[in-house]
Structure 1
Amino acid sequence: MDTQSALNNVLKKLNFIYLVLGLSYDSANATRKAKLKQHFIYVLNFFWLNSDVLGAIWWFVNGALNGKSFVQLTYVAPCVTFSLFANIRAYTLIHYEAYVSELINSLRSLEEVENARKRTMERDEIIVKDVKFLNAVINISNILNFGLIATFFMSPLILIVVKYLKTNQWDLLLPFLIIYPFDSHDIRYWPFVYLHQLWSESIVVLNICSTDYLLYICCVFIRIQFRLLQYDFTRIVGKASVDFDNEAFTRELVKLVKWHQELIRLSAILDTVYAKSTLFNFVASSILLCLTGFNVMAMEDKTLACTFLVFLSASLLQIFFVCFFGDLLMKSSTDVSYAIYESKWYLANSSAENNLHIVQIRAQKPCKLTAFGFADVNLRSFMSILSTAWSYFALLKTLYNPNKA
């Protein structure tokens, strides 16, 4: 892999998706015409998606008032929740586009500084290993997201064919239960409504995965910078006390401290961009996992059950990866403290030792992503979400009576 442009190579994976969604991670370098075009596409997709979301909410309210089964109501609820989360996630990038652009350009600057340094096998290995892992995660997520879209697209068509073979009658079905101001099952409108729902589903999935991918990319490249910083800190002191050059040490320490402060600043910007939407993600994930798991258990139709099993897998992986990359960022920032401890600080003079100790104490305070300050984004939070979802699911399963549903 060419380490000279690792960040840009990964960001290229987002270009087409962001173009289709009307989003941007580099608005500072975009022309006014490009920004207008981008915002027009975003607004168009926003109204396209939310016309279906409003119809689904109305179906849910109308169904609850008119005695629809509990299983049917829980069929709609996860989809509406997922759609609302997609809206919030996409709006995050629009609202904080200046911060996002600053973050990306700062990471590019740090990468340029790194590329100007003397190349070593250890430094290159740090970059290549993390970037390969990031690419693998994105590729796996792409496959799962495509499978989610394809599953919701194909399952109604399969059910239509199966019912026709059993009853010799066409029963036109749609991927989602949505009320329209016309008969959506009329053959004159059905194909257009079907395609409309398919693109709405695509917008939801792409909004979430594209903004999540940007989060993963930022976390990994900040982590890479932290690991390179650790590499330099472990080698900041010479081989023996008689060789110690206090002046050279001070210059190097100042450079590393400024580098450390910049990474702390970038981590804070990343948290500012994602904190609010992550809070909704944490709250919604427990509900999504609970209701989707319930759908898989309660639905008699195996095709629909398989559809929601894919949905459950996608939801589970989405929140897992968010927590996983947040955990990576947190751990890499605190590892700076261990790197200083592993340096040959005992060979330096007392003044240098004190300066290193100050940096070490600061590094013990982790840089982290938060759910708007209510929780840290790490693997411990992921376990809490699973625990909460399981509690809700167990309660729902206990209260559910299939004879009354």
Structure 2
Amino acid sequence: MSVLFDESLKSIELIFKYFGMYLDRTILNTAEHVIKFRSLHIINFLWLNTETIAEILWIIQGALHGRSLIKLTSIAPCINLCILANIKSLSLFLNDDKVKKLFKQLRNVENNINIGDEVVKKKIVAEGKKHLRAVIKALIIINAVTVMLFSVTPILFIGLEYKKSGQIKLVLPFRVYPFNPYDIKYWPFLYMHQIWSASLVSIQIAGTDGLFYTCCTSICTQFRLLQNDIETIIPERNFDENVFQEMLKKLAVRHDGIMQSIIQLESIYAKSTLFNFVSSTFLICLSGFNTTALGDIGYMVAFLSFLLMSLMQIFLLCLYGDMIMTSSMEVSNAVYNSKWYTVNAKAAKHLYVVQMRAQKLSKLTAYGYADVNLTSFTRILSSACSYFALLKTMERPTQA
């Protein structure tokens, strides 16, 4: 049987290499290794955060000089996403040892699958890989489209203005500098700086989320394989209690390994998930507000893609958390669906112990403040809609 985790990991490793992270490689604290494997990450980190600092300073300066609410909120989602990208990538960078430990745990669980029908196993694994490929493909496409729209929109505006008036009026994707950025001496560099900064944000969020989806898919697939093995642990005839005890012991070890993987995954992502939950409320609210409030059709389309990206990002995060909760609970149902009623009292008692243990819910949380599931997604949407209504109320007096 092909290994789901390793095959799926290959599809996102290239994303991480673009911003200078090597997930599955041991990096020593030597000058040679730091220069070879860390320098690109450090350069990209500094590159992105010069833009982030400029955006924050622009917001502060704008608030002090009485800029309109629409202008201020047009930059706020960008700041939010930049900070989110930083936190997500740093959560992996600072937990490098935990990431490698998680990889080892997931591989160990997969390598210990030595019972059950091979045809059924291959079918379950194939379904997991198919679903994951579709999600990562959609993730890459929507992030690429969003970056492209923000990159191309200024060029379109320059072209339309030249056609209309015969003059070249330089435009940038984001107006965030305290000096005049439209001087031809600075504009080309600043334009490329903003495009690559936007690309870094997209790559970092897509990469860290893609790894999260890969780990969750591997865990959910292992739960499904475990359920199948538990359901078929008791044969139709010729029940051998010694063989049964040995198989049950192996299944219990696998179950424990899967749950340990969930604990390890949460320890890596818990803090960034908490910020993701909080920031997504404002991202969805502000992106929706900018889509409806900005007068330029080009920027409206760009912020609409921004809104769709934000919705998709938090929805998938909650969806995969929900899938882990659901698949962990179904292990208990698998015990009930086995032929427990055909065995002796001692064997049935062992199955009952497994069932009781499986009823202890395995889940991911946002640093303990909220469960990562679809219920949390609806709460985020509800809060975003409330803040959106408040912003629209504040906008009307300003326009009046």
Q: Contact conserved, 1:24 with 1:97, CA < 8 A, in 2?
A: no
Q: Which amino acid in 2 is paired with 1:129?
A: E
Matched, 1:156 2:133: no
Tell me the distance in 1 between the aligned counterparts of 2:149 and 2:115.
Answer: 48
Mapping of residues 38-53 of structure 1, within 5 Å = 38-53=37-52
Name the structure 2 match of 1:302. 297
Tell me the distance in 2 between the aligned counterparts of 1:158 and 1:348.
Answer: 74
Mapping of residues 4-403 of structure 1, within 5 Å = 4-28=2-26, 33-34=32-33, 36-114=35-113, 120-179=118-177, 183-240=180-237, 243-401=238-396
Q: Which residues of structure 1 form unaligned runs of 5+? A: none
Tell me the distance in 1 between the aligned counterparts of 2:83 and 2:122.
Answer: 41
Displacement after TM superposition at 1:371 (Å): 0.4
Tell me the distance in 1 between the aligned counterparts of 2:312 and 2:205.
Answer: 12
C-alpha RMSD of matched pairs (Å): 1.8
Tell me the distance in 2 between the aligned counterparts of 1:398 and 1:260.
Answer: 52
Q: Contact conserved, 1:28 with 1:98, CA < 8 A, in 2?
A: no
Tell me the distance in 2 between the aligned counterparts of 1:390 and 1:303.
Answer: 24
Indicate the SS of the match to 2:366.
coil
Tell me the distance in 1 between the aligned counterparts of 2:34 and 2:232.
Answer: 46
Change (3 A) 1:176 1:26: same
Q: Which residues of structure 2 form unaligned runs of 5+? A: none
Residues 112-157 of structure 1 deviation map (CA, whole Å, 9 limit, x = unaligned): 333x557522111100011111001111111111101100000111
Tell me the distance in 2 between the aligned counterparts of 1:31 and 1:55.
Answer: 32
Tell me the distance in 2 between the aligned counterparts of 1:192 and 1:402.
Answer: 39
TM-score by length of 2: 0.95
Residues 201-236 of structure 1 deviation map (CA, whole Å, 9 limit, x = unaligned): 111111100000000000000111111111110011
TM-score by length of 1: 0.94
Tell me the distance in 2 between the aligned counterparts of 1:346 and 1:19.
Answer: 54
Percent identical? 41
Tell me the distance in 1 between the aligned counterparts of 2:105 and 2:99.
Answer: 10
Change (3 A) 1:88 1:99: same
Q: Which amino acid in 1 is paired with 2:106?
A: L
Indicate the SS of the match to 1:169.
coil
Residues 262-291 of structure 1 deviation map (CA, whole Å, 9 limit, x = unaligned): 111001000110000000000000100001
Tell me the distance in 1 between the aligned counterparts of 2:61 and 2:181.
Answer: 16
